[in-house]
């Protein structure tokens, strides 16, 4: 309080506008107005007696308990939304990390060797088009456990864009850089760390960004079929209990988390990409 009263109102308003920027402020204003209009229409449409979907205000009052206390833990699957989302994120984190490590390695391998590329590319092209959920039964059969199965689904979903983008990045490595390496006679390790890896970073991160988006899509669907703590199963559970307002709240959270994940990977990528390659 002492700090804020220290500032004059004028300078604080100036500070706010400077932080937001006129352009950003304009965007936020317009999108807020749009959200209110959408909510308003929704409210109007669902005003009648016994609507198919609850109007926004009803959703808010119905789920107020969940919103204000996301951290409760009553044991079993009866836990707050924070824990539900955290459980899903954990699975995504494990599956996605495995996919990233394997995907980058395989991508570099097939990007460097024309022979391996020609050998594996047709297999990848077929596997890539298999929908994520189609992997679930076979993984359940193989692992006989829910947890590794959902992680496997994430893995299979995220790996293809990572492999393909990394391979393209390696193949697109400018001849100039290769020539530099050849003239300097860089060792394999030096070539990898000084030239190949930094040059493919932008491509790798494009793959990672697509991968994380797909993983988040897949986890919600996978969890619906596999009981346990997780935002996907929470939605399915709410549906079986006819708690439509809770579903709507959960969907909102899923969307926001997906957005945050995408922004997170993108900003790491930006941090690691040199200016000239952007």
Partner 1 sequence: MSMFLEVDHIEKVFPLPNGRHYKALSTIALNVRKGEFISLIGHSGCGKSTLLNIVAGLERPSTGGVVLEGRQVKGAGPDRMVVFQNYSLLPWKTVQQNIALGVNTALKHLPKGERRSIVEHYVDLVGLRAAVHKFPHELSGGMKQRVAIARALAIRPKLLLLDEPFGALDALTRGGLQDQLMKILTETKATCIMVTHDVDEAVLLSDRIVMLTNGPASYIGQILEVPIPRPRQRMDVVNHPSYYGLRSEILYFLNQQKLQKKRKRQQPLTISRHGLEKVNLNLGFVPLTDCAPLVVAKEQGFFAKHGLAEVTLSREPSWKTVLEGVTTGRLDAAQMVAGMPLAMTIGLQDKAPVPMVISLILSRNGNAITLSKDLYEKGVRTLADFKQYLSQPNVTPPTLGMVHPASMHNLMLRYWLAAGGIDPDRDLTLKVVPPPEMVANLRAGEIDGYCVGEPWNSHAVKEGLGFVITHDLELWPGQPEKVLGMREDWADQHPQTQVALVKALLEACQYCDDPRNRNQILTWLCLPQYVGAAAEVIQPGFLRAYDRGTPAQPQVLPRYNQFFVSQANFPDRVEGLWILTQLARWGLVPFPRNWIEVLDQVRRPEMFAQAAQELGLPGIGPDRHQFQLFDGMIFNPDDPMGYLDRLAIKRDIQIQEVLVGASAMAEGRSETIAA
Residues that bind partner 1 (CB under 8 A): 176-177, 179-180, 182-187, 190, 194-195, 198-199, 201, 274-277
- Exposed, middle or buried, 222 (CB in 10 Å: 0-12/13-18/19+)? buried
| Burial environment of residue 121 by CB neighbours within 10 A (0 to 12, 13 to 18, 19 or more) | middle
Angle between helices 56-68 and 244-272 (to 10 degrees): 70
Residue 189, CA distances (Å) to 51, 100, 115, 117, 275 in order: 65, 21, 21, 21, 24
Give CA separation, 120 vs 57, 62, 154, 155, in Å: 54, 52, 21, 18
Q: Under the phi-then-psi rule, with left for phi > 0, alpha for psi from -120 to 50, and beta for the rest, what region is 75?
A: left
Please say which residue, 124 or 177, places its beta carbon nearer to partner 1. 177
Least separation in angstroms between residue 96's CB and partner 1 is 25
Smallest separation, CB 195 to partner 1 (Å): 7
Q: What's CA 243's distance to the chain center, in Å? A: 26
State the sign of the Cα–Cα–Cα–Cα dihedral 19, 25, 29, 35.
Answer: negative
CB of 97 to partner 1, least distance (A): 24
Cα–Cα distance for residue pair 41/126, rounded to 1 Å: 44
Q: Which is nearer to partner 1, 53 or 201 (CB)?
A: 201
Q: Minimum distance from CB of 116 to partner 1 (Å)?
A: 24
CB-nearer residue toward partner 1: 109 or 180 = 180
| DSSP symbol at 277 | G
Q: How far is the CB of 109 from partner 1 (least distance, A)?
A: 22
For partner 1, give the closer residue by CB, 174 or 227: 174
The minimum distance between CB 17 and partner 1, in angstroms, equals: 31
**Eight-state DSSP code of residue 53:** S
The residue (of 128 and 182) whose beta carbon lies closer to partner 1 is 182
Residue 189: CB minimum distance to partner 1, A: 11
Tokens of 27: 């965007």
Locus of tokens 């706010």: 16
Cβ-based nearer residue to partner 1, 33 or 272 = 272
* Residue nearer to partner 1 on the CB measure, 16 or 184: 184
């Amino acid at each position: 309080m002492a700090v804020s009263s220290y500032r004059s109102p004028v300078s604080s308003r100036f500070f706010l506008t400077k932080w937001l920027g006129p352009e950003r402020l304009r965007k936020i204003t317009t999108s807020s107005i749009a959200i209110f209009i959408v909510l308003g229409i929704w409210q109007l449409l669902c005003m009648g007696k016994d609507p198919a979907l609850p109007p926004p205000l009803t959703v808010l009052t119905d789920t107020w308990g969940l919103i204000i206390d996301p951290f409760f833990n009553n044991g079993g699957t009866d836990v707050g939304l924070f824990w539900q989302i955290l459980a899903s994120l954990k699975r995504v984190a494990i599956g996605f990390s495995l996919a990233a490590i394997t995907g980058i390695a395989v991508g570099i391998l097939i990007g460097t060797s024309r022979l391996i590329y020609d050998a594996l590319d047709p297999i990848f092209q077929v596997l890539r088009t298999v929908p994520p959920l189609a992997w679930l039964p076979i993984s359940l059969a193989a692992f006989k456990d829910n947890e590794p199965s959902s992680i496997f689904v994430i893995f299979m979903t995220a790996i293809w864009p990572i492999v393909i983008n990394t391979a393209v990045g390696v193949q697109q490595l400018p001849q100039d850089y290769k020539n530099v390496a050849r003239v300097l006679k860089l060792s394999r390790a030096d070539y990898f760390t000084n030239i190949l890896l930094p040059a493919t970073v932008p491509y790798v991160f494009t793959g990672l960004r697509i991968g994380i988006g797909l993983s988040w899509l897949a986890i919600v669907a996978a969890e619906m079929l596999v009981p346990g703590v997780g935002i996907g199963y929470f939605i399915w559970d709410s549906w079986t209990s006819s708690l439509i307002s809770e579903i709507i709240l959960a969907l909102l959270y899923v969307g926001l988390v997906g957005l945050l994940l995408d922004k997170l990977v993108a900003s790491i990528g930006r941090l690691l990409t040199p200016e000239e390659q952007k």
